[in-house]
Amino acid sequence: MAANSATTTRATKASTSSRSSRKDAPPRVEKPETLEHLLATYRNAPDQVGEHGHAPLHEYDGKFVEAGQRMVFLRSTPNAGQSGVRQAVFVHGLGGSARNWTDLMYLLSPVVGGIAPDLPGFGRSPLPKDRDYSQAAHAQSVIRLIEDRCDGPIDLFGNSMGGAISVRIAALRPDLVRSLVLVAPALPDFRPRLSVAPLIAMTAPVLADITSRVIKSEDAEATVDRMHNLCFLDTARVHPQRREIQIEETRWRMSRENAADPLRLSARGLGQAFLPGRPDYLWSLAEQVECPTLAIFGSHDKLVDPRLATRAARSFSNGRVTTLKTGHVAQMEDPVKVAQLVLQMWVESHI
């Protein structure tokens, strides 16, 4: 097992025209566009941020597709599903959406075709009719997308709850996963943290009505800003346009009937996978993962304790663990550094 530790500072502001131009396109290298060439390009280039230090902003159009018995909203890069192109699948966290990944997908797009679903009930995806938000149900939706839309094993990315789902898939369906990238994965931790107390409280059945009323009554703008304060170390890294997009999406999501169900019931399903002795206990599943794994923790994460990096380093037999100076969503706060680490892992693992 190889366990690496790294610390990165916040990306510096761009000050030259050449640096500003990089926010319009990911690095391009002379063909063939190999992983080694792209990694060298990232290493030698200034941080790809705009003049105010914002992370790159990119959006991919999406469409509704079937994922087994469920319908999900799927965002894809133009080269997704192309023959001969490396393929990746990106799974968002609790309360998130595919948009949590589009900047990183864009940076990796010279060599990787990517798809990112809104999990059932999240983002633009409809609520599942069976109201099953268990880890198994979410994982099955992702598995069906991989089986139906990807040729051969894929690179699987997961953030927070999406990390827990991805660990489950990599452990139970190793034939589908070539490598695993986890950003602040939601793994069992019983040390108390006040920042997660409201999330734990809302999983209680007796609080279901209260949770629903609170979500219905809260202003979308306040909700988004609260989540940014919770998930980012530096909220100045949130692009203003990204914030407006998230407010619009949140307002639409909160207007739906049973809008609290995806958050509340998915949190309950995740909590069940935290219980030792269960067949889907997440630390046990982590020990079953055999593919090359990169686990990235945020040094200032308010939701996932970065001290879990130590146990993660012990649990993933073919893993490396890195800590960045970010909050809970390093792929959004410092996508360039995350892209560098992913490419380095792929190159060094010869995959």
Q: Is residue 7 part of a domain?
A: no
Ranges of H-type helices in the chain: 17-21, 35-44, 102-108, 135-149, 161-172, 197-202, 208-217, 220-231, 240-254, 261-272, 282-288, 308-315, 330-333, 335-349
Averaged pLDDT, 167-185: 98
Averaged pLDDT, 153-166: 98
Q: Is residue 1 part of a domain?
A: no
Q: Is residue 185 part of a domain?
A: yes
pLDDT band of 166, cuts 50, 70, 90? very high
More reliable by pLDDT, 177 or 192: 177
| Residues 55-95: tens digit of each pLDDT | 677 889 899 999 999 999 999 999 999 988 999 999 999 99
- Closest-CA residue to 3 (of 339, 329, 312): 312
Averaged pLDDT, 228-252: 92
Q: Is residue 236 part of a domain?
A: yes
- Judge whether 179 and 349 are in contact, CB under 8 Å: yes
111 is written with which tokens? Answer: 């060599």
Q: What percent of the chain has pLDDT over 70?
A: 80
Range of the structural domain that residue 328 is part of: 17-349
Q: Is residue 217 part of a domain?
A: yes
Q: Is residue 151 part of a domain?
A: yes
* Residue 140: how many other CB atoms lie within 10 Å: 19
Amino acid 304: pLDDT: 95
Tell me how many domains the chain contains.
1
pLDDT band of 258, cuts 50, 70, 90? confident
| Residues 195-213: tens digit of each pLDDT | 555 555 555 555 455 555 5
Q: Is residue 10 part of a domain?
A: no
